Structure 1
């Protein structure tokens, strides 16, 4: 559809903006929801940019779905060690990881699973949240009882609370670490102040980040007489 094409053009445009503004050091990953499309987009964009030092994850307008713990787990994989073989090629552990700075973009149109994703990102201290507070619709339901007229009823059955017993997120959302409002005049002019701020932050953090570089000692002699 035209809407899908426009959305893909927006995503690719953002990816190229980030690539250019960070001199090729940061990737851009858009997550439209935390259901099928969200995992599809994350898999497509994240794993194709593993050569980057950092990444901006954009979950604005995230329509929710499930608890995206897989995405959070993949983002939270710190460097452990290098591997090398007899031909002197090197690999890292864990594989399929971006070890450097991370920033997540959020807005008021992301909710449900789109509330939980930035909450988990923030709780694990993976990086700052930039944008506007999410809309606070983090509830779960199971079953939609049908009505005689062909309609149905969605009944909330699951609510979220923290380790200390506090009821959280629902009707409030997740607040950003750096609040940035998208003013109509800026958007009409083709700007994206939230993305611009995320780029500014990740460029600052990349200046202080040195990626792991293999520098092994001389190979030990394993053979014995």
Structure 2
């Protein structure tokens, strides 16, 4: 959750191909943190309040860039620091369902400095709290839907958490016709490739497998 990852996420979510999707799965499992939670929630919480209409052009919403379709967020025991602050805000703002296992509660603001002998130190300097006053250090953010990825499933390439996240979001999408199947609908769910980038260290998350389908079902790369 660093600035390069944020820039990539912005490119991906506002890409025309992603805007055609009917739902969004955000995967921040295995994310070491950073400081992008505010920017992410600003993007995801935007509401359309009007539009502009040129004399001889297309109608354009205000704000122009927004996401108002269903979202499901994936977290796990290796979502650290800012990757815990973000789901806490995501839940507080009611942006969507959270799937996975509780985060570890490694949330504390620190100061990093260097002593005269060259030794680097890092000191706890400020705390993070929820609106109701709960200290987020050692708290852990629980999911709305608890799903574990068993080790024996992971080694086989099975990702139960992602599967449940997709099924959860599909339940929020009305069938476009009586004959449309769930597999067809799955092609309309976007999984940004930048969502579980872990540029700040920590353990890498299980990369989400590519969704079935053609262009509308593939992961976006943001490039």
TM-score in terms of structure 2 length: 0.71
8 Å CA contact retained: 1:67, 1:116: no
2:168 matched to 1:201? yes
> Which of 134, 140, 146 is residue 173 of structure 1 equivalent to?
140
Runs of 4+ off more than 6 Å = none
How far apart are the structure 2 equivalents of 1:168 and 1:208?
Answer: 42
How far apart are the structure 1 equivalents of 2:22 and 2:47?
Answer: 12
State which drifts further: 121-130 or 92-101: 92-101
> Which of 114, 122, 125 is residue 157 of structure 1 equivalent to?
125
* Structure with the higher fraction of residues in helix conformation: 1
How far apart are the structure 1 equivalents of 2:116 and 2:157?
Answer: 46
8 Å CA contact retained: 1:50, 1:96: no
- Report the Cα offset of residue 202 of structure 1: 0.8
- Report the Cα offset of residue 40 of structure 1: 2.7
How far apart are the structure 2 equivalents of 1:40 and 1:146?
Answer: 34
- Alpha-carbon distance change, 122 to 163 in structure 1, aligned in 2, over 3 angstroms: closer
Report the counterpart of residue 188 of structure 1 in structure 2: 155
How far apart are the structure 1 equivalents of 2:113 and 2:25?
Answer: 36
- Alpha-carbon distance change, 208 to 127 in structure 1, aligned in 2, over 3 angstroms: farther
**CA offset digits 1:42-100 (Å, max 9, x no partner):** 12321222232321111111111115201101001123234333336222222111211
2:66 matched to 1:91? no
Q: Radius of gyration: which is bigger?
A: 1
> Which of 132, 137, 146 is residue 106 of structure 2 equivalent to?
137
8 Å CA contact retained: 1:82, 1:93: yes
How far apart are the structure 2 equivalents of 1:179 and 1:122?
Answer: 15
TM-score in terms of structure 1 length: 0.70
Q: Where do 5+ consecutive residues of structure 2 fail to align?
A: 177-223
CA RMSD, 1 decimal: 2.1
**CA offset digits 1:83-123 (Å, max 9, x no partner):** 33333622222211121111111111011111101111110
How many residue pairs were aligned?
Answer: 174
**SS across alignment from 1:40:** helix
Report the counterpart of residue 45 of structure 2 in structure 1: 76
8 Å CA contact retained: 1:51, 1:98: no
- Greater RCO structure (CA 8 Å; 6+ sep): 2
8 Å CA contact retained: 1:144, 1:153: yes
How far apart are the structure 2 equivalents of 1:206 and 1:77?
Answer: 20
8 Å CA contact retained: 2:99, 2:146: yes
